[in-house]
Amino acid sequence: MSSQLRLAVDAMGGDLGPRSVVPACIRFLQNFPEAQLKLFGPRAELQSLIQEQHRPPRAVSRLEIIHCEQVITQECNPLQAVRHKRDSTMAMALMSVSVGEVQAAVTSGNTGALLALSRSILGNIKGVRKPALGKSVPSGTGSCYLLDLGANVDCSAEDLLQFARMGIEAQRIHTSRSSNGDIKVALLNIGAEAHKGSAEIRRAAGLLEADPEVNYVGFVEGHDIFTGAVDVVVCDGLMGNVAMKSAEGVIRLMGQKAFTIEKSGCFKRFFGQLAIKLLRKWRTQVEPARYNGASFVGVKGNVIKSHGGASSEAFYRAMVTAKECADADLAARVGAAMAQPGSGAPRTMDK
């Protein structure tokens, strides 16, 4: 008998709002009979969307609507969110994690607000200097965990060491490799040679090399994220964000080019149609946006950020990521790892 799974879901904030979230929730409840969802948003709107779905009442009975009307828009800055948006759907979902009503929260809302509210409502895990946004991306041999994806612009070598420790715990969920020695960790850089990169990246290499808990394999370049040669890639938020979004952009462009070529010529049009079907399938396998659901690791609770433009299918995938984090209790694992010596946590003075 599987244990109960409880998730908080922010119905608002993404580009499509509850129109992508509600169908994803119903599909999730049908696929996972042990799941219970708390859905945060305006009750009347959500109820009418649920009714449109014509789904069996048994699944819907496990969905509880928590009425909130305040929504955090994309324009809202992090400080405003913390100061004035405590009754928002996003803040309420995080509070339900904080009080232990649910095991994880999922949202496709404003990233900056989410990070600020998570830090403020949940707080950092003891010893964590900076929580980081991380994500499992497809690779030649399965997946690779990439962090930070944009939560931290300025990162010291000590921060990067902590990201590595946290990334190992997150990647453990996605891989059969259980011991730290089997999880290969690399630093993202502009070349593999030791003299390359910024002074801070080179200093981080020294810290990672000296850490017995990290199987550090050296510098890698952007393309190595996807080859499968390593399991965790660590970088600052600028580099990680650019890596992720550039990969998404070029895959999208390729899809567009395919549609253009397909329109020319009769023979080509016929096979082009078939090829596009296959292309879509391939793209689904590699498009980072379809690997939806980044985790905000380092705060006291499991927080999952969906792509803002997520379709219902993509939001469903973010919910599955939330389930995986909840099942493994990622936040607790990170907490245990950061309590170990040498984790880069600031030393306390009393013994």
Residue whose CB is less far from a copy of itself, 23 or 112: 112
Residue type, 2: S
Site string for a copy of itself, 311-340 (x = CB under 8 A): ------------------------------
Query: In terms of Cα–Cα distance, which of 107, 109, 101, 147 is closest to 128?
Result: 147
Near a copy of itself by CB under 8 A: residue from 33, 193, 210, 269: 193
Beta bridge partners, 132, equal 297
Least gap, CB of 103 to a copy of itself (angstroms): 29
* Size of interface with a copy of itself, in residues (CB under 8 A): 61
Cα–Cα distance measured from residue 2 to residue 318, given in angstroms and rounded to the nearest whole number: 21
Q: Site residues for a copy of itself, window 260-289 (CB under 8 A)?
A: 261, 268, 271-272, 274-275, 278-279, 281-283, 285-286, 288
Least gap, CB of 332 to a copy of itself (angstroms): 29
Residue whose CB is less far from a copy of itself, 33 or 249: 249
- Does the footprint of a copy of itself cover residue 154 (CB under 8 A)? yes
Cα–Cα distance measured from residue 288 to residue 250, given in angstroms and rounded to the nearest whole number: 11
- Does the footprint of a copy of itself cover residue 226 (CB under 8 A)? yes
- Does the footprint of a copy of itself cover residue 222 (CB under 8 A)? yes
Cα angle 207, 208, 212 (rounded to 5 degrees) comes to 105
- Does the footprint of a copy of itself cover residue 235 (CB under 8 A)? yes
- Does the footprint of a copy of itself cover residue 84 (CB under 8 A)? no
Q: What is the DSSP string of 157-176?
A: HHHHHHHHHHHHHHHHHHSS
Near a copy of itself by CB under 8 A: residue from 100, 178, 195, 341: 195
Rg (CA), the chain: 21
Non-local (6+) Cβ contacts of 168 within 8 A are 180, 183, 185, 213, 214, 232, 337
In three-state secondary structure terms, 97 is: helix
Q: Which two tokens stand for residue 126?
A: 């003891």
Beta bridge partners, 65, equal 39
- Does the footprint of a copy of itself cover residue 44 (CB under 8 A)? no
By the criterion CB under 8 A, which residues form the site for a copy of itself? 75, 77, 111-112, 138-140, 150, 153-154, 188-191, 193, 195-198, 221-227, 235, 237-239, 241-254, 256-258, 261, 268, 271-272, 274-275, 278-279, 281-283, 285-286, 288
